[in-house]
Amino acid sequence: MTAMTGRIIAGLITATALLAGTAAFSQESSNRVAAKTDWSVFVETDPTECWSVSAPKETVNTRDGRVVAVRRGDILLFVTHRPGSDVSGEVSFTGGYPFANGSTVTLEIGDETFELFTEGEWAWPASPSDDTRITNAMKRGTLAIATARSARGTVTKDTFSLLGFTAAVDEAESRCSN
For residue 62, the enclosing domain spans 3-175
- Cα atoms in the 13 Å half-sphere on the side-chain side of 102: 0
What single letter denotes the amino acid at residue 12?
Answer: L
Residue 109 pLDDT: 98
SS3 assignment, position 165: helix
pTM for the model: 0.83
pLDDT, residue 124, reads 97
Task: Going residue by residue through the chain, which has 178 residues, state the pLDDT in tens, using 9 for 90 and above.
Answer: 444 444 544 444 444 444 433 333 443 456 889 889 999 999 998 888 999 999 999 999 999 999 999 999 999 999 999 998 999 999 999 999 999 999 999 999 999 999 999 999 999 999 999 999 999 999 999 999 999 999 999 999 999 999 999 999 999 999 998 6
For the chain, the domain total comes to: 1
What whole-number distance in Å separates Cα of residue 161 and Cα of residue 174?
Answer: 22
| 160 bridge partner residues | 144
Cis before 47? omega within 30: yes
CATH code, domain carrying 146: 2.60.40.1880
